[in-house]
Structure 1
Amino acid sequence: MTFTLDEVRAQTYKARDAWWTVWLVDPLAGRLVVITANRTSITPNQITWGAFLLGLAAAGCFLRAEWPWLVAGALLYHLSFVLDCMDGKIARLKGTGTVLGGWLDYVFDRIRVLTCTLALMWGQYQATGQEVYLLLGVAVVFLDMLRYVDALQIAKVRRQMRTRLRRALAETAPDADLATGVPGGMPGGVLGEDADLDAEENRVRTPEELAAAAAPRVRPGDQVDLQEEFRSRFTGYLRIRDRLRDHRVRTHLVSGIEFQMAVFIIGPLTGQIIPVTVGAAALLLVFEAAIMYKLWLSSRDFARALARTQEMAM
């Protein structure tokens, strides 16, 4: 079977992704996937190993500390990330993904970040004697861990809210459609369109899921919007979000991906590792705080929706 670039885009690109991935990775990764899938028998796990080894090579370059080596390390890190995006695309395209492959991908990502952080900051400390690089190293590792742990926990909380609302609605109206959480003939869909967090919204939907999401099963006015309070407070957000969505870019503009690229690519290329790392860390914390604030507002919407559902059941 021969795959085209359009098929790769349709079947493997995420509905929304980091702007760095959308604009600086996918254009290259998509074309490499076409070549790799059509002309080789390379497996996703082999690509995962290749990305990991390139990440270690980038760390070796960072350890040398001199600017030409920093440039080489930045380029290798970017190439490593391109391969890291390719393995999942090929797995989805050919249906060859495995549980082990997903585990390797996640673990290798964390090891790559840790190794490159240690190499970059230790190399700069050895070259300059500035202890601030050691502090930056600790901060980078901590923030990388915080981002990924936080994303998993917030996604878990959102799933729990959706599940509780679905169950409450089902108890209120026995003919409820549990797929959408909408009881027949009764207002009260469970999800607002922003309910999914990054960890879920970035998952590639199957054709069946896409078709189900597009089906006009619920009138917009019937949905319980778990982002209602957020939308009312930040009316301009919807315009920005829609413009970004037109380009597949998520509104979380500085996530773990952009943070990594700032530290391991932009900083070394510009020779401004300290200011770039500090700036990226500050922006990451701002966006993480925004996500927490948005979740808090969602919890208030959830409590009100649950209370209304329970009142209807009385």
Structure 2
Amino acid sequence: MARHYTLDEIRSRTYKEKDAWWTVLLVDPLAARLVKLVAPFRSVTPNRLTVLAFVVGLGSALCFWRASYPWLLAGALLFHLSFVLDCMDGKIARLREESSPFGSWLDYVLDRLRVLACAVGLFGGQYQATHDFVYIWLAGLVIFLDMFRYLNALQMGKVRAEVGAPDPVVVVDAPVGMTEAPGWWKYRNLLVGRRIRPHLFSGIEFMMFVFIVGPVLNQIVALTVLSSLLLIAFELLLIYRLYTFTRAHRPSLSPL
């Protein structure tokens, strides 16, 4: 007999403790309801959702390639739908306890290929329409930054595990001796209390601004440049915080 899940059960078992604000506010409410609809059907598996998300992403890339504004809107809509489906695969896996190493690999690889295809579609289409070489540079920038932020996250995770550094987005208590937390701590704890990471511009927001906000506002160059600068700034902040932690917690050398 098919198992039916309540929304509260889906939220408690599949929502991440902390997530990007775009996911928390604009994806999870829809994804949870779609999971409720499809979870009873055993034919809907995490890997099939991953592949479907990739196929929809290819549809987004094809729309972007057409370059005119109505097609840009269609591409942005399909990209958002692709991301919703991509979030659903993980939720289904956690809900049914069907996570697998192959599923993680498949999700990672198809995510990168989707970004590559959409970058070629969006910026290649604009180049074909305008013959402005700036779109070629922007395509290379987006592909490079997407690759860098994933590699950086993997390596930083390894370093944090080695040195015992805390997660950079955990709730932070007020400094010892303070009777009331200053504004920064209040701000962080308020966000995390709503499941929103204080790291406000991560790779998720970067992709959404490039492939959704930019096309919708018809400001592809400006939004790509702005989102690239914000991503670089927040990545550098994480690197700096890891650097200061490792400097402060270096093991002392034993005397010879």
**Same-fold status (TM-score > 0.5):** yes
Structure 2 counterpart of 1:75, one-letter code: L
1:277 is matched with: 224
Deviations 1:280-304 (Å, cap 9, x if unpaired)? 001001101110111111112322x
Structure 2 counterpart of 1:196, one-letter code: D
Match of 1:251 among 198, 207, 212: 198
2:44 is matched with: 42
Deviations 1:240-266 (Å, cap 9, x if unpaired)? 210111110001111110000000000
1:186 is matched with: none
1:263 is matched with: 210
Q: CA deviation at 1:40?
A: 5.4
1:173 is matched with: none
Q: CA deviation at 1:127?
A: 0.5
Q: Distance in 1 between matches of 2:118 and 2:46?
A: 23
Matches within 5 A, 1:157-306: 157-162=159-164, 195-197=166-168, 236-303=183-250, 306=251
Q: Distance in 1 between matches of 2:168 and 2:191?
A: 16
Q: Distance in 1 between matches of 2:67 and 2:125?
A: 5
2:10 is matched with: 8
Q: Distance in 1 between matches of 2:127 and 2:56?
A: 23
2:104 is matched with: 102
1:215 is matched with: none
Q: Distance in 2 between matches of 1:125 and 1:8?
A: 43
Pairwise CA RMSD of aligned residues?
A: 2.1
Q: Is the 8 A contact 2:168 2:238 kept in 1?
A: no
1:139 is matched with: 141
Match of 2:23 among 17, 21, 24: 21
Q: CA deviation at 1:33?
A: 0.6
Q: Which moved more, 1:22-31 or 1:35-44?
A: 35-44
Structure 2 counterpart of 1:260, one-letter code: M
Deviations 1:80-106 (Å, cap 9, x if unpaired)? 000000001001100112211111100
1:151 is matched with: 153
Secondary structure in structure 2 of the residue aligned to 1:138: helix
Q: Distance in 2 between matches of 1:34 and 1:248?
A: 21
Q: Is the 8 A contact 1:154 1:197 kept in 2?
A: no
- Between structure 1 and structure 2, the one with the greater Rg is 1
Match of 2:115 among 113, 116, 126: 113
Q: Distance in 2 between matches of 1:5 and 1:301?
A: 45
Deviations 1:8-47 (Å, cap 9, x if unpaired)? 1111100000000000000000111111112553111111
Q: Distance in 2 between matches of 1:269 and 1:245?
A: 29
Secondary structure in structure 1 of the residue aligned to 2:243: helix
Gaps of 5+ in 1: 163-190, 202-224, 229-234
2:178 is matched with: none
2:94 is matched with: 92
Q: Distance in 2 between matches of 1:155 and 1:241?
A: 21
Q: Is the 8 A contact 1:155 1:197 kept in 2?
A: no
Q: Distance in 2 between matches of 1:90 and 1:296?
A: 37
2:64 is matched with: 62
Q: Distance in 1 between matches of 2:78 and 2:200?
A: 23
Deviations 1:41-82 (Å, cap 9, x if unpaired)? 311111111000000000000000000000000000000000
TM-score by length of 1: 0.74
Secondary structure in structure 2 of the residue aligned to 1:254: coil
Q: Distance in 2 between matches of 1:58 and 1:44?
A: 21
- Percent sequence identity over matched residues? 52
Deviations 1:265-285 (Å, cap 9, x if unpaired)? 001111000000000001001
Q: Distance in 2 between matches of 1:299 and 1:99?
A: 31
Q: How many aligned residue pairs are there?
A: 245
Q: Distance in 2 between matches of 1:62 and 1:101?
A: 28
Q: CA deviation at 1:197?
A: 4.8
